[in-house]
Amino acid sequence: MERAEAFVSLVRPRHTAQIVGIVAIVSIASHGLTTTSLYAIISSLFLSISIFFLDDAHDYESDRVAHPRRPVPRGLITTRQAYTISAILMLLGILSASMLFFYQFVIFLTSTIVAVAISVLNINSLLRASLSAFLIWTLFPFGAFPDLKTALFGLIVALPHVGGSITKDFIHSRGDIIQGLKPPPDWSKYLASTIFFLSGCIVWVPKMLEFVTWLYIPPITVTCVSCMVLGVKISRGHYEKVYIYGGIGMCSTLAAFLLGGF
């Protein structure tokens, strides 16, 4: 039972649900309930889980300090098992994506390469944050038809992840140092804070361009407030609430897209 729970933990249900949820929403809104939507959802699911397994296997030494209760540091799952499962799921994801339109397959392969690079290379904090945000952004043109509206919605979801990724580097700095990564410079917290403030403003652009209905306003207001609160907290060095407010902002943003007319 404990081993099964360990595998579920490595899947990161909350994060995987966010990724697959975005693809499901934009794909069904664009393509309807079709095989295209199904393959897009399945391939994103396989890739998401694959990267989480790869990340935990690669970060084993760091997690012994930063996250000692995770399955790999505890010995419930070996690094070899994690790497093997990651490779199998990644292959299945690529096979599923090959059934999609060519442009979707190219986006998927690009995302796969970038995701692997983020997991295994010693990339500096700001670049890693930007690449992580890029991965979030690609979920939109991958799931939907690429157009200005899709690109804008992708930016609204992806931009806060730059600030969030920088902030998480402060939370995980002890473990990163063990891996040989440099701790984030102190000034980067102000960059993260500024990005959250900017994100809180950009969420109103779709309404200004009349891409959405008035139903977009109530949930996106929650997103705006979440971004502003994070901007203030991070500028003061309070990083512990980034997951909570980030989750609230993500859920309210997706609700705004659904209600406002994606």
pLDDT for residue 177 is more than 70? no
pLDDT for the residue 183: 65
Over residues 175-194, mean pLDDT = 71
Handedness of CA 254, 257, 259, 262 (dihedral sign): negative
d(Cα 146, Cα 102) in Å, to the nearest integer?
13
pLDDT for residue 159 is more than 70? yes
Question: H/E/C letters for each residue in 243-255?
Answer: HHHHHHHHHHHHH
- Residue-wise burial string across 36-75, b where 16 or more C-beta atoms lie within 10 A, e elsewhere: bbbbbbbbbbbbbbbbbbbbbbbbeebbeebbeebbbbee
Name which residue leads in pLDDT, 106 or 240. 106
Task: Give Cβ neighbours of residue 195 (< 8 Å, ≥ 6 apart).
Answer: 159, 160, 162, 163, 166
Name which residue leads in pLDDT, 15 or 230. 230
Phi, psi of 121 (to 5 degrees): -100, 150
Residues of the chain above pLDDT 90, percent: 36
pTM of the model: 0.82
pLDDT for residue 121 is more than 60? yes
Which residue is associated with the tokens 């899709």? 150
